Amino acid sequence: MEFRNIAIIAHVDHGKTTLVDAMLRQSGVFSEREEVVDCIMDSNELERERGITIYAKNASILYKDVKINIVDTPGHADFGSEVERILRTIDSVLLLVDAYEGPMPQTKFVLRKSLELGLKPIVLINKIDKPTARPDEVVDMIFDLFVELGATPEQLDFTYLYTIGKQGIAKKSLTDDSKDLTPLFETILEKVAPAASNVSVPMRMQPANLAYDNYLGRMAIGRVFEGTVRVGMNVTVIRPDGSREAQKITNIFTHEGLKRCEVKEALAGDIVQIAGIPNIYVGETIAEDPNAQMLPVIKVDEPTLAMNFMVNNSPFAGREGKYVTTRQIRERLEKELQTNVGLHVDFPDGGDEFRVSGRGEMHLAVLIEQMRREGFELQVSQPEVIMHKEGDILMEPIEQVVVDVPEVSSGIVIQKLGARKGDMKNMVARDGSVRLEYEIPTRGLLGLRGEFMTDTRGEGTLSHNFLKFAPHRGSIERRTTGSIISGENGKTTGYAIDTLQERGTLFVAPGLDIYEGMVIGMSSKAESMTVNAIREKKLTNMRASSADIAIQVAPPLDMNLERALEYIDSDEYVEVTPQNIRIRKKHLKETDRKRADRS
Ligand SMILES: Nc1nc2c(ncn2[C@@H]2O[C@H](COP(=O)(O)OP(=O)(O)OP(=O)(O)O)[C@@H](O)[C@H]2O)c(=O)[nH]1
Ligand SMILES: [Mg+2]
């Protein structure tokens, strides 16, 4: 059989998963009666809720007897290194670009990686149905980006199509009257080289990703480079340091549509998932011949952000979680390391705090969210950027940032980014909105999103992408407001909340259990304040008791996990349980807090 292996890559939300959906539908993957939800590839519960792809996924379609393996990749910057690894398993990419937004930071990142690997991208100008679409302008912008990234003359001569992923339409020119994706399928057959399929030599393959199965254990996902892989085959695993280990392959799976199918063997060119090698890792070589050469090692990017995970020891500890002990948290993190390639965890001897490092706020937040859904209760510290030293110089990560904001809010945004040590690189105004490009320390971005949303009344977009390490730019003030802290244990009252409202933004509604040292709001002043939120109105007669219920208070700010992580200071923790997200001071008692401040 002939194979074509492609990945679909783009900036977040430009429409990858929607287009893959349409490709699956039109190639007859689903039966007539099957009810198919939108973005069926976003199968994980968190993905469906957030409307984004978190995990790369493989699927395949059959078109004119050719098996097209498609990898749908995540567009969010935190998962960029996963995309980079996947590019090693495919022969071409579909580079999708929104016909209005044009190339964005993650477009640039994934395109750069593709060009470096010598791939020849097929460009898709997507969402041309949008009233604001400007497809021709966007083609020019993409061409300029290819030039900027040093594309070779062959790469620069890229094929492009116009698409409406949502309607399953692709066309070669804007005036074509196409009704389906035929032009896209034909372009793939024509432009993507058939996967090299030398089956006359001993087998070699390389995992680009990991998966976990409760029965089969750790599995390797990768492409069979040459030869044929068979169940029961004795293989040699070659590690990057050159050491070799004998292993045996017990199960092999390929993809048919969205289904994982168990097979007895798979040929060179196909993308497979194999079991039987318990400690297999990304970038190692699996070879049939014990003396085989190793394939070029795949580098896994280092983490950029770290935080501590620990047992919840707040006064409400253990009330809501099913798994609450240090041992349970430790085991869960060890299991996560089986498949979460970009993650690092330090397990200190006998300690009860685990240092968990990942590729960004979203990467870590997704893990915490997943854990709380499984019934875990834990406490986490403020995320911190990971820096390193080059000689005597402290180096910190710098990100490339693109913001689109309404013209009226550009002033405040420029001021805020400047205060966070951002360097403006470009500024373009168009149709009442402004696009600003910055280089800014990752530190400066932490905690910015909430403020940015408020400053642009929810109309701005901000995307960022790791650019480089550079010398530390000096201190950045992260939060300019203090916390409103409860001084008592008890239940909040409408009366107390009503009087506290004017002092800041509250996170709690009336009738909620709180404890001394719990952060119940954000002050409008720089200093923190300790307050009484359980106070009852002195009753003068019996009828007044119902008055408390009648008080109208503004709805509290919903502190979800990401907002809480963004908000907390170094002397605060986020308490995470299956039911609640609370913020607390590390030192619960006011006297302890004051003592800690002085030291
Ligand atoms: N107008 C229009 N909207 C589209 C089109 N294709 C996708 N969308 C919408 O764009 C949004 C994002 O689509 P997704 O397919 O989830 O985007 P994605 O690139 O997979 O996003 P990530 O996986 O998070 O990077 C959804 O609301 C889609 O309905 C299109 O052709 N036209
Ligand atoms: Mg997606």
Whether ligand 1 lies within 6 angstroms of the CB of 14 is answered as yes
Most informative mutation of 23, 107, 166 for ligand 1 (most atoms within 8 A of CB)? 166
> What pLDDT sits at residue 539?
65
Of the candidates 406, 410, 407, 356, the one whose C-alpha atom is nearest the C-alpha of residue 384 is 356
Alpha-carbon distance values, 418 to 85, 354, 421 (Å) = 34, 34, 5
CA of 54 to the centre of ligand 1 (A): 14
pLDDT band, very low/low/confident/very high, at 467 (cuts 50, 70, 90): confident
- Pick from 11, 13, 17, 49 the residue to mutate for probing ligand 1's pocket: most ligand atoms within 8 Å of its CB: 13
Interatomic CA distance for residues 553 and 349, integer angstroms: 49
How many residues are given for the chain? 599
127 Cα to the center of ligand 1, angstroms: 8
Closest ligand 1 atom to residue 96 Cα is 19
Task: In whole angstroms, give the CA distance from residue 293 to residue 236.
Answer: 11
Condensed to tens digits (0 to 9), the pLDDT of residues 295-331 reads 988 888 888 899 999 999 999 999 999 999 999 999 9
The protein residue whose alpha carbon is closest to atom 23 in ligand 1 is 53
Q: How far apart are CA 541 and CA 49, in angstroms?
A: 49
* Closest ligand to residue 94's CA: 1
For residue 458, count CB atoms less than 10 angstroms from its CB and return exposed for 0-12, middle for 13-18, buried for 19 or more: exposed
Cα–ligand 1 centroid distance for 506 (angstroms): 35
Q: Where are the alpha helices (DSSP H) in 435-560?
A: 442-445, 448-455, 494-500, 547-550
Determine whether the shortest distance from the Cβ of 170 to ligand 1 is under 6 A. Answer: no
For residue 204 and ligand 1, the question of a CB distance below 6 A is answered with: no
| Atom 8 in ligand 1: residue holding the nearest Cα | 15
3-class DSSP assignment, residue 408: helix
- Taking the C-alpha atoms of residue 227 and residue 230, their distance in angstroms, rounded to an integer, is 10
User: What's the pLDDT band for 458 if we cut at 50, 70, 90?
Assistant: confident
Q: Measured between alpha carbons, how far is residue 362 from residues 417, 438, 481 in Å?
A: 21, 21, 24
Nearest residue CA, atom 13 of ligand 1? Answer: 15
Q: What is the pLDDT of residues 84-132, one digit of tens each?
A: 889 989 999 999 999 999 999 899 989 999 999 999 999 999 999 999 9
CA atoms lying within 13 Å on the CB side of residue 13: 10
Confidence of residue 598 (pLDDT cuts 50, 70, 90): confident
- Is the beta carbon of 10 within 6 A of some atom in ligand 1? yes
What is the tens place of the pLDDT at every residue in 163-202?
A: 999 999 999 999 999 999 999 999 999 999 998 878 899 9
Name beta bridge partners: 384: 306
Q: Using pLDDT thresholds of 50, 70 and 90, give the confidence band for residue 453.
A: confident
Tokens 């980006």, residue located? 145
Q: Which residues contact 58 (CB under 8 A, 6 or more apart)?
A: 69, 70, 71, 221, 255, 271, 273
- CB of 130 within 6 A of ligand 1: the answer is yes
Ligand nearest to the CA of 11: 1
Q: Which atom of ligand 1 lies nearest, measured to the CA of 165?
A: 31
Q: What is the arithmetic mean of pLDDT over 207-232?
A: 92
| pTM, 2 dp | 0.89
| The residue to which tokens 């009233």 are assigned | 131
What is the pLDDT at residue 439?
Answer: 96
**Average pLDDT rounded to a whole number, residues 385-414:** 93
Would you say residue 21 has pLDDT above 60?
yes
- What is residue 596's predicted lDDT score, i.e. its pLDDT? 81
Ligand 1 binding pocket includes 18 (Cβ within 6 Å)? yes
**Ligand 2 centre distance from Cα of residue 441 (Å):** 27
* Ligand 1 centroid – CA 124 distance (Å): 13
Residue 166 CB–ligand 1 contact under 6 Å: yes
DSSP helix/strand/coil, 60? strand
pLDDT digits (tens, 9 = 90+) for 142-167: 999 999 999 999 999 999 999 999 99
Sheet strands (E) in 216-279: 217-226, 228-230, 234-238, 244-248, 251-256, 259-263, 265-267, 271-275
Instruction: Supply the DSSP symbol for 466.
Output: E
